């Protein structure tokens, strides 16, 4: 069986505490990413909306312009900070997500930027499924009041290691995207996310483990730390599941970094033992990865 993960990889997820001041958030993210790199992590992940509070009222205020690429420092301080942090850490960096304003269409997106250890941008993902829910008496949220959905699924090649699938938070509820990334060879599915204290306890861990067991891939969910004074309280519980859907590491709700050592053997062994990859019945149902480039 071909290697999915070409060599062992230490993964770090930073459950970052951020507030209203973007400059402070960027500088705090830098110190936590460097701490993770110092501990040996070579792939480091930040949370959804890592440099701002999360909420529709905040997206326009914190939005940055990413096109034409590369943007200027004025257009996107976060782009430049993340690029510099990745280079300083000498690690791959999934820069959580930031609100993006595409000036030509005047549309806002929830966008993740991924940088290589040399600080080059190697991938982006615009959240494709917007978080529009209404659970009476509990939580009502409508990202689509402000945001537009992305129109691409995202798989990124980390040359020394292999491929990762990247999506954002609510995207995890749609198993097709994860399955497509895994069938394209992703060893890891990464979700910067910010579930809340209603749906978090219900589904966060379940969804992480579900995507792992469906796809026999590693899964990483990276949340902001909970801020009890925020209008939207993130669930926290950043976690890493292995390809057998065991939780390798899980945070509580305060700021922390969690780590896991990923290996190809864990993927190969579960796929040998429970060979769903060769048992699918595409004569009975569609292969969702068919036709996806």
Ligand X SMILES: NC(=O)CCC(=O)C(=O)O
Residue 287's contacts (CB-CB under 8 Å, 6 or more residues apart) are 183, 280
| Interaction between residue 48 and ligand X (CB under 6 A) | yes
User: For the chain, how many residues are written?
Assistant: 293
Among 10, 107, 173, 184, binds ligand X (CB under 6 A): 173
Q: Which is nearer to ligand X, 162 or 208 (CB)?
A: 208
Among 17, 155, 169, 266, binds ligand X (CB under 6 A): 169
Nearest distance in Å: CB 289, ligand X: 23
* Residues 226 and 235: beta-carbon distance below 8 Å: yes
Instruction: Give catalytic status of residue 169 as yes or no.
Output: yes
Helices then strands, counting H and E runs in the chain, come out as 8, 15
Question: What gap in Å lies between CA 261 and CA 253, rounded to an integer?
Answer: 22
Kind and range of the H or E run holding 94: strand 92-94
| Interaction between residue 170 and ligand X (CB under 6 A) | yes
Q: C-alpha angle with apex 15: 72 to 144, nearest 5 degrees?
A: 60
| Interaction between residue 196 and ligand X (CB under 6 A) | yes
Among 51, 154, 199, 238, binds ligand X (CB under 6 A): 199
Among 45, 82, 194, 210, binds ligand X (CB under 6 A): 194
Instruction: Give catalytic status of residue 142 as yes or no.
Output: no
Nearest distance in Å: CB 144, ligand X: 11
| Interaction between residue 195 and ligand X (CB under 6 A) | yes
Catalytic residue among 32, 64, 100, 127: 127
Question: Distance of CA 70 to CAs 4, 22, 79, 186, 289, Å?
Answer: 31, 20, 8, 27, 31
Instruction: Give catalytic status of residue 222 as yes or no.
Output: no
Question: What gap in Å lies between CA 93 and CA 228, rounded to an integer?
Answer: 27
Q: Under rule CB under 6 A, how many of the chain's residues touch ligand X?
A: 10
Catalytic residue among 32, 48, 100, 143: 48
Contact residues toward ligand X (CB under 6 A) are 48, 131, 169-170, 173, 194-196, 199, 203
Residues acting as catalytic residues: 48, 127, 169
């Amino acid at each position: 069986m071909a290697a999915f993960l070409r060599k062992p990889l230490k993964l770090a997820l930073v459950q970052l505490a951020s507030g209203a001041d973007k400059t402070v958030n960027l500088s705090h993210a830098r110190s936590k990413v460097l701490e993770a790199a110092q501990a040996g992590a070579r792939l480091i992940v930040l949370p959804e909306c890592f440099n701002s509070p999360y909420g529709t009222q905040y997206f326009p205020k914190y939005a940055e312009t990413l096109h034409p690429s590369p943007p200027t420092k004025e257009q996107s301080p976060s782009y430049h900070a993340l690029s510099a942090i990745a280079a300083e850490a000498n690690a791959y960096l999934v820069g959580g997500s930031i609100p993006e304003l595409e000036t030509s269409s005047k549309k806002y997106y929830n966008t993740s930027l991924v940088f290589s250890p040399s600080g080059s941008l190697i991938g982006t993902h615009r959240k494709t499924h917007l978080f529009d829910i209404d659970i009476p008496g509990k939580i009502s949220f409508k990202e689509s009041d402000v945001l537009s959905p992305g129109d691409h699924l995202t798989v990124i090649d980390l040359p020394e290691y292999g491929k990762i699938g990247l999506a954002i938070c609510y995207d995890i509820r749609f198993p097709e995207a994860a399955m497509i990334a895994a069938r394209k060879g992703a060893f890891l599915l990464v979700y910067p996310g910010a579930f809340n204290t209603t749906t978090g306890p219900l589904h966060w861990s379940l969804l992480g483990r579900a995507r792992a067991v469906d796809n026999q891939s590693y899964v990483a969910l990276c949340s902001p730390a909970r801020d009890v004074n925020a209008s939207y309280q993130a669930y926290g519980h950043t976690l890493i599941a292995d390809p057998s859907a065991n939780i390798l590491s899980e945070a509580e709700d305060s700021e922390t970094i969690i780590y896991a050592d990923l290996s190809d053997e864990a993927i190969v062994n579960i796929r040998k033992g429970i060979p769903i990859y060769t048992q699918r019945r595409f004569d009975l149902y569609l292969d969702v990865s068919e036709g996806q480039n």
